[in-house]
Amino acid sequence: MTHAVKFTELSSDSTVIKEKKTDWMSGPWLFFRRWIAHPLRMGSVVPSSPALCRRVVAAVRCAADEVVLELGAGTGVIARALLASGFPAERLIVVEIEQEMVAKLRRDLPGALVIEGDARVLSELIPAHLQGRIGTVICGIPLVLLPRPEQRRFIDAIEAVAAGRGFLHYSYCATSPLPFRAHQLSAKREAWTPLNIPPASVWRYLPL
**pLDDT tens digits for range 69-116:** 999 998 899 999 999 999 999 999 999 998 888 999 999 999 999 999
Written as one letter, the residue type at 19 is E
What gap in Å lies between CA 59 and CA 54, rounded to an integer?
9
Domains, the chain, ranges and CATH?
27-207 (3.40.50.150)
pLDDT at 29 over 50: no
**Which helix (H) or strand (E) segment is 160 a member of?**
helix 148-161
The pLDDT value recorded for residue 2 is 44
Please determine, for residue 10, whether its predicted confidence score (pLDDT) is greater than 50.
no
Helices marked H in 38-147 — which ranges? 50-58, 77-84, 99-108, 122-125
Please write the tens of the pLDDT for every residue from 120-174: 999 999 999 999 999 999 999 989 989 999 999 999 999 999 999 999 999 888 8
Q: Are 32 and 45 in contact (CB under 8 A)?
A: yes
